[in-house]
Structure formats: C-alpha cells, structure tokens
Amino acid sequence: MTVSTAAKIAYDDVEVGTELPAQTFNVTRATLVQYAGASGDFNPIHWNEKFAKEVGLPDVIAHGMFTMAEAIRVVTDWVGDPGAVVEYGVRFTKPVVVPNDDKGAVIEVSGKVAAKLDDNRVRVDLTATSGGQKVLGMSRAVVQLA
C-alpha cells in the first residue's frame, strides 16, 4: 500500500542515472535511547557500551531499522512526498558505530535512479556509509513519482 500525496518529481523528468541530493545525518547515543523507547527494541548493544564490547562489537551500534528509516529520507525529501516509497529493502553490511560524544555517528546517504518501471515508478539505489564503511548494501526502493 502507498499513501501518496503530492510528488513534486515527474516520472518524465527523470532518467536512469539521475542523482538524488545527498544528505548527511548524525546518530547520537541520545537518539538511540529515544529510538529504543519508541520502537521497544531495548537490545543493550544499542545503549550499553560494556555489553556491546563484551559481545565483540567495537562500541554501541545504531539500530539497523533506525538507520534504514533515516536513509530513506533521501528519497522522500527528493520526491517531496512522505508516502512515495512503495517498497524498500536493504542489507545490513556493517554496524553503525556510535561514539559517546555530541556528534555521534555520521552517516552519508546518496541515491540514484537505477531503473524506470511501469506506472510512473522508478527504482532508486541508495548508498549509506559511516566511518568510510558501507553500512547499508543492496539498498533499493521502488518510488512513486508524479
């Protein structure tokens, strides 16, 4: 299901290879505590440094679902329609390590149109990196355009 409202990007104005405006966002430890409360995912790898290190992680890591949700904003901001994403899948390739400072983890997200589909839809492939590592792989969304 999609709840499409007001896409500002027209299918006819987009080509395979069209690049979306890239975005950078920060994830802090405070954000992770808020996300844990909202989602109910209280896995201590997301907020307890000692626990995270005991299970072999370099430090506290961001919730995968949160990273995924933040990354897709590159698409919805581009289209101008929060309901434009019809399908979305990712592979979690590396953890997003969140240091205990004001900046937290910095995640850079870019995207480009990879295919034009039927019904004014396109496939967008996304790349998300943090600390020089690709954190989301195979990240692709089917997007409804005007």
Ligand X SMILES: CC(=O)OP(=O)(O)O
How many residues at the interface with ligand X, by CB under 6 A?
5
Measured CA to CA in angstroms, residue 21 lies from 50, 53, 104, 132 at distances of 38, 36, 23, 19
Provide, rounded to whole angstroms, the least separation between the CB of residue 108 and ligand X: 19
Using CB under 6 A as the criterion, what x/- string covers residues 90-109 for binding ligand X? --x-----------------
The neighbour count for residue 84, using CB atoms within 10 Å, is: 28
Q: Are 39 and 65 in contact (CB under 8 A)?
A: yes
Tokens of 60: 């506290």
Q: Are 107 and 70 in contact (CB under 8 A)?
A: yes
Provide, rounded to whole angstroms, the least separation between the CB of residue 41 and ligand X: 5
In terms of CB distance, is 99 or 117 closer to ligand X? 99
Residues in 30-59 at the binding interface with ligand X, rule: CB under 6 A: 41
The binding site for ligand X (CB under 6 A) comprises: 41, 63-65, 92
